[in-house]
Amino acid sequence: MSSPSKKTVLYKLLKWRYRNISDKNFILILSILVGFTAGLISLLLKNITHLIQLVLESDIISWQTSFYFIIPVIGLLIVYVFTKYIIKKDVRSAIPLILHSLSKKDGIIKPIHGYLPLILAPLTVGFGGSVGLLGPAIGSASTLSSDISNLFKIKDKTRFLLIGCAAAGAISAVFKSPLAGLVFAVEVFSLDLTLASLLPLLFASVSSILTSYFFLGDEVLFRFDVVEKFDIYDTPFYIILGVGTAVASIYFTKMYFGILHFFDRFSKKIYKLLIGGLAIGIMLYFIPPLYGEGLGFINDLLHGDHLKAIGNTPFDDITSNIWIVIALLAGITVFKAVAMTATFAAGGSGGIFIPTMVMGSALGNVVSKVINNLGIGFQVSEANFTLLGMAGLIAGVLHAPLTSIFLIAEITSSYELFVPLMITTAISFIISKNRIEHNIYTRELAEQGHLITHDKDQTVLTLMNLEECIETNFIPVKPNYTLKQLLSEAVAKSNRNLFPVTDEADHLIGIVSLDDIRDIMFDITMYHKVKVETLMSPTTTAIIYENDNAKTVMQKFQDTGVWNLPVIKEGRYLGFISKSKLLTSYRRKLINFTR
């Protein structure tokens, strides 16, 4: 709880801000601050992870080189102990958590969920878990952005924008690619690309990348220059790669949800850890590049050293055969999704962005090697296809084609591959999007009807809070009430023209309206003869509090043509929502969202 002195200082600061800095300029200042903090968080995650890896690779653990496949299990066990006995909170995936907070929590993220990856992700990845650090970086930066917004009393729409700035900043800091960060925020978080949002996103990206340069100099994740230029005759192979990355994207997504569903069978987390850890250990024994994020694997492929990329395997004696190498790389393509999801299912913390790139790089390299060694007279650039494979998987798995195009263009500091990138990513995105409508980030939210999209109408419906539309000042009556009781106990005491009929357990069994009794309400001879159960109309359509959202409620009003619908919560009558109240709430939310 804040002390009075702190509250006074904050109040004076806010008062000074309102007097001296316009809202527009203050948003720009905050976007710079958010970008700077996003850069620091990204660097912090990276350095903690590298420190853990250095310790494990040192002489302190001399057996690491021969039994390193056991280390991920140790890391997962540490994460398990930490989450179960210290913080007593479950690990939540970062970006789905952010999207849920945007749609249902007004962009407010609980610190325990947002900052938890700062500890758990380095433990998972540092000990060899097959996941990435970008998702946790975005999650923690977005949480800090949410906290900053709350501190300065920022309205909801601006809070959404600043969370997008945090995502853009994290990607800019990790890849030194400001345009890709900006586009990612627009594509994944469904931000409007207007001048009002473009400038803060740019400011956040620039401040984040400057932070990265300040601490790391010109060090980059991938150092590669495009040497072999675009060749029109290679177009059929780009199309083939586009189809291949689309198929791999569908496989990646289905495998992700399939493995998680399989692990849901186990009620105890320790069982999930043991089974997932054992599976990861076996895969690492045969395919060492699955260990950790896999950024070194990508770099080795880009520089044409596939043997170094593959590492020491039980098949070292036969890797002189190029088709064995192709088979091993294909194995990485297939099993990266399995190892990544097993890490998540076993309790690990991390992201899917980097694993997607690793899988795509392996697939692109496999396709190029197959083309070059089939003896059909064609030679394509293996490095270029490695890059195109990464772009294709990002476009297909994350449904973010523009992000993938700009990311690869900025990684290579060249637009020479722009045409191949557009061909591959467009094909991958179209096929995967038609086959799987929602990506890994958005599927669960979409099924719940909570997903924010670029459709303003649907977004406003998603952001609406039905709780605010429920009216509870209706007087319930019982079915055995006489007309006299109905008039004296309800009609005379209410200014509403609807009266819910409930049983002893508060279950709604019907509705009486003034129109139903208008002809007899002044007929004294009917007061004791007619009962409510003969006057009420059955309820054919109701709003289920736990299941319905603004979109489904609006559809129910349209289908029934009524003006009021009852609300049922946990099987009991709660109140009514009127069409006028819903439309008023919609209009208010639309004004707040668009201005």
Tell whether 221 is covered by a domain. Answer: no
In a domain, 333, yes or no: yes
Task: Tokens for 571, please give them.
Answer: 């099987």
Q: Tell me the whole-structure pTM to 2 decimals.
A: 0.79
Residue ranges with strand state E in 185-310: none
Q: Are residues 439 and 529 in the same domain?
A: no
* Predicted local distance difference test score (pLDDT) of residue 60: 44
Residues 447 and 472 in one domain: no
**Is residue 222 in a domain?**
no
Does 101 lie in the same domain as 75? yes
CA distance 532 to 538: 12
Number of domains in the chain: 3
Count the residues in the chain. 595
DSSP state of 82: I
Check whether residue 373 and residue 420 sit in a common domain. yes
- Region of 519 (left: φ > 0; alpha: ψ -120 to 50; beta: rest) is alpha
Residue 61 is predicted with a pLDDT of 45
Q: Are 566 and 543 in contact (CB under 8 A)?
A: yes
**Is 511 inside a domain boundary?**
yes
> Is residue 577 in a domain?
yes
pLDDT at 65: 46
Is residue 10 one of the residues assigned to a domain? yes
Residue at 226 is within a domain: no
Indicate the residue among 453, 485, 512 that finishes a domain: 453
Measured between alpha carbons, how far is 43 from 38 in angstroms, rounded to an integer? Answer: 9
Are residues 583 and 553 located together in one domain of the fold?
A: yes
pLDDT at 254: 93
Question: Residue 189 in contact with residue 98, Cβ under 8 Å?
Answer: yes
583: enclosing H helix or E strand:
helix 579-594
Please check whether residues 248 and 392 belong to one and the same domain: yes
At residue 360, the pLDDT reads 94
From first to last of its 595 residues, the chain has per-residue pLDDT tens of: 455 565 677 777 777 777 888 888 889 999 999 999 999 999 999 989 988 888 877 644 444 445 666 888 888 899 888 888 887 777 777 888 888 787 777 778 888 877 888 889 999 998 888 898 998 999 999 999 998 888 888 887 888 889 999 999 999 998 888 889 999 988 888 776 677 778 999 999 999 999 988 887 666 666 666 667 777 888 999 999 999 999 999 999 999 999 999 998 888 888 898 898 888 888 888 888 888 888 888 888 888 888 888 877 777 677 788 888 899 999 999 999 999 999 999 888 889 999 999 999 999 999 999 999 988 888 888 889 999 999 999 999 999 999 999 999 888 877 788 899 999 999 999 999 999 888 888 877 776 665 565 556 666 666 677 888 888 889 999 989 988 888 888 888 888 888 999 988 889 999 998 888 888 888 888 888 888 888 888 888 899 988 888 888 888 888 888 888 999 998 899 999 988 888 888 777 766 655 5
List the domain range (segments joined by +) for residue 117.
Answer: 4-216
Euclidean distance between CA atoms 352 and 337, whole angstroms: 9
Q: How many CA atoms lie within 13 A of 388 on its CB side?
A: 36
Whether residues 36 and 151 fall in one domain: yes
Whether residue 260 lies inside any domain: the answer is: yes
Q: Does residue 521 share a domain with residue 489? A: yes
Q: Where are the alpha helices (DSSP H) in 481-549?
A: 483-489, 514-517, 532-535
Contact 145/34 with Cβ under 8 angstroms? yes
3-state secondary structure 371-436: HHHCCCCCCCCHHHHHHHHHHHHHHHHCCCHHHHHHHHHHHCCCCCCHHHHHHHHHHHHHHHHHHC
CA atoms of 132 and 124, how far apart (whole Å): 9
In whole angstroms, what is the distance from residue 544 CA to residue 414 CA? 54
| Amino acid at position 110, single letter | K
Token pair for 315: 């098949």
- Domain-ending residue, one of 216, 251, 269: 216
Do 435 and 552 touch, CB atoms closer than 8 A? no
Q: Are residues 448 and 488 in the same domain?
A: no
CATH number at residue 524: 3.10.580.10
Q: Among 157, 181, 216, where does a domain finish?
A: 216
CATH number for the domain harbouring residue 147? 1.10.3080.10
Looking at the structure, do residues 36 and 182 belong to the same domain, yes or no?
Answer: yes
Start-end of H helices in 436-522: 443-448, 456-463, 483-489, 514-517
Do 247 and 350 belong together in one domain?
Answer: yes
Together in a domain, 33 and 85: yes
